[in-house]
Amino acid sequence: MHTILPLISTTFIAISAILVAVGWVLIVRGKREQHQRVMLTAAGFALAFFIVYVTRTAVSGNVSFGGPDYLKLPYLVFLWTHIVLATVSAVFGIVTITLAWRKNFKKHRKVGRATAVMWFITAISGVTVYLLLYVIYPGDVGSLFDALS
């Protein structure tokens, strides 16, 4: 459970980003209904990520950075940047979906582009955090606050 849930949640976020890319291609090609289905599926995978992440954090805590001390500060800056961007991206995602739902496609198009780019960066940085914590420099399981300091 210590390593399988992070792998599952990271896979969900990667799938979500891939689906956002597919959705972007579909809308550029004028395939609005397919775009809508793919983007809602992408949002579903993002929500599944969040549910798994929160569940894992509540049940088993987080993993601290196990790498060398000289990399800890750069890692923490990277982690905090990822967390802030992920939070902003999630809010933008909700706004983007809401704009589409309300059929405000002019604003949806504008906000959606920014949201997609942020989501790609968030997914890439999230996979990087996973690799650093679970593959390259595995650390000890502790509380959320241990992992962020």
* pLDDT of res. 56: 86
* pLDDT of res. 64: 86
The answer to whether residue 148 scores a pLDDT higher than 90 is: no
Rounded alpha-carbon distances, angstroms, from residue 79 to 38, 82, 84, 142 = 29, 5, 9, 16
In contact, 57 and 83? CB cutoff 8 Å: no
Kind and range of the H or E run holding 136: none
Reduce the DSSP state of residue 102 to 3 states and report it.
Answer: coil
Indicate the domain borders of the chain.
4-147
Distance CA 14, CA 12 (A): 5
Q: What's the mean pLDDT in 16-28? A: 97
pLDDT band at 115 (very low <50, low <70, confident <90, very high): very high
Distance CA 91, CA 93 (A): 5
Question: Of 97, 94, 19, 81, which Cα lies nearest the Cα of 50?
Answer: 94
Distance CA 93, CA 90 (A): 5
* Superfamily of segment(s) 4-147: Cytochrome c oxidase, subunit III, four-helix bundle (1.20.120.80)
| Strand runs labelled E in 1-149 | 62-63, 141-142
The answer to whether residue 1 scores a pLDDT higher than 60 is: no
Q: Is 61 left (phi over 0), alpha (psi -120 to 50) or beta?
A: left
Distance CA 107, CA 56 (A): 36
pLDDT band at 2 (very low <50, low <70, confident <90, very high): low
The answer to whether residue 111 scores a pLDDT higher than 60 is: yes
Each residue of 61-108: pLDDT tens digit? 788 899 999 999 999 999 999 999 999 999 999 999 999 999 999 999
